[in-house]
C-alpha cells in the first residue's frame, strides 16, 4: 500500500507524459479552437470546457483532496480567478489562452479527447489505442492505488509508444 503522496507523484508523472503526447499531437488549437474562433468572428470560444470539470467527476477520496489542494496552492482557488468576458463556466478557463492549469488537472480534464480528435489520431497517425474513458479510469486508479505496478508500466509504455509514432510521422 503506497501513500497518497506517492500515488499523486505517479499521477503527475503520467500527466507529464500525456502533456507531451498532446503537445506532439498539436491538434486542439490548430484543428479546432483556431477554426472555431474564426467562425465566431474572432471572439473566444470554450471548445469542450463547458463545465467545471476540474471537480465534476472527482471521487470522494483523500488523494483527490490532495490533488485539489496542490492545484490550488500552485495555481490559486477557482474563486481567485476572474476573466473579462468569460466563455466557460470553469473559472480556470482563460478566454484568450484556454486552460490555465499546466499540471494538476483532474483526471477527466487530463484524459479527455473528443471523437473528432480521436478519429484524427486514428486516421493520420494510425494510433488506435487512445480510449479517453479508459485513460480517465487508469488515471483515477493510479490516484486511488487500484492500478498494479505492471499496469502502470504498461500504461506509461503505451503513451510513450503513441508519442514516438507521432514524432516518426511528423519527421
Ligand atoms: S478535445 Fe476536441 S473539442 Fe476539445 S479542444 Fe480538442 S479538438 Fe476541440
Ligand atoms: S480545468 Fe481546464 S481543462 Fe478542466 S474544464 Fe476547466 S479549463 Fe477545461
Ligand nearest to the CA of 72: 2
CA 112 to ligand 1 center in whole angstroms: 8
CA 114 to ligand 1 center in whole angstroms: 6
* pLDDT confidence band for 169 (50 / 70 / 90): very high
> Residue written as cell 488537472?
105
**Residue 80, pLDDT above cutoff 90:** yes
pLDDT of residue 144: 97
Give the residue with greater pLDDT, 1 vs 168: 168
Question: Which among 147, 124, 94, 105 has a CA at the least distance from the CA of 12?
Answer: 105
Residue-wise pLDDT for 17-69, tens only, equals: 999 999 999 999 899 999 999 999 999 999 999 999 999 999 999 999 999 99
According to DSSP H, which parts of the chain are helical?
A: 4-25, 34-39, 53-56, 62-75, 107-111, 115-125, 132-144, 149-170
Ligand 2 contact, 54 CB (< 6 A): yes
Report how far residue 116's alpha carbon sits from residue 126's, in angstroms, rounded to the nearest whole number. Answer: 14
Atom 5, ligand 1: residue with shortest CA distance: 28
Three-class DSSP category at 99: strand
Ligand 1 contact, 37 CB (< 6 A): no
CA 49 to ligand 1 center in whole angstroms: 9
Question: Which among 121, 137, 114 has a CA at the least distance from the CA of 11?
Answer: 137
* pLDDT confidence band for 104 (50 / 70 / 90): very high
**Residue 2, pLDDT above cutoff 90:** no
**Residue 1, pLDDT above cutoff 80:** no
Indicate the number of domains in the chain.
1
Residue-wise pLDDT for 111-147, tens only, equals: 999 999 999 999 999 999 999 999 999 999 999 999 9
pLDDT of residue 22: 97
What average pLDDT does range 77-94 have in this prediction?
A: 95
Report how far residue 65's alpha carbon sits from residue 58's, in angstroms, rounded to the nearest whole number. Answer: 9
- Using the 8-state DSSP alphabet, how is residue 61 labeled? S
What average pLDDT does range 68-83 have in this prediction?
A: 97
pLDDT of residue 84: 92
Atom 4, ligand 1: residue with shortest CA distance: 48
> Which residue out of 90, 94, 113, 119 has the highest number of ligand 1 atoms within 8 Å of its CB and is therefore the one to mutate?
113
Which range marks the domain in which residue 53 is found? 4-170
pLDDT of residue 96: 87
Amino acid at each position: 500500500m503506497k501513500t497518497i503522496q506517492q500515488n499523486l507523484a505517479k499521477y503527475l508523472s503520467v500527466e507529464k507524459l500525456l502533456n507531451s503526447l498532446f503537445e506532439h499531437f498539436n491538434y486542439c488549437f490548430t484543428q479546432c479552437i483556431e477554426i472555431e474562433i474564426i467562425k465566431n468572428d474572432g471572439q473566444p470560444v470554450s471548445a469542450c470546457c463547458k463545465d467545471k470539470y476540474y471537480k465534476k467527476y472527482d471521487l470522494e477520496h483523500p488523494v483527490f483532496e490532495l490533488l485539489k489542494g496542490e492545484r490550488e496552492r500552485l495555481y490559486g482557488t477557482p474563486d481567485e480567478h476572474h476573466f473579462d468576458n468569460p466563455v466557460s463556466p470553469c473559472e480556470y478557463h482563460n478566454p484568450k489562452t484556454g486552460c490555465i492549469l499546466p499540471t494538476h488537472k483532474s483526471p477527466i480534464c487530463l484524459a479527455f479527447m473528443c471523437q473528432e480528435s480521436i478519429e484524427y489520431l486514428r486516421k493520420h497517425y494510425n494510433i488506435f489505442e487512445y480510449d479517453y474513458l479508459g485513460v480517465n479510469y487508469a488515471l483515477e486508479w493510479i490516484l486511488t492505488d487500484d492500478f498494479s505496478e505492471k499496469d502502470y508500466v504498461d500504461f506509461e509504455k503505451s503513451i510513450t509508444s503513441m508519442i514516438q509514432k507521432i514524432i516518426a510521422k511528423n519527421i
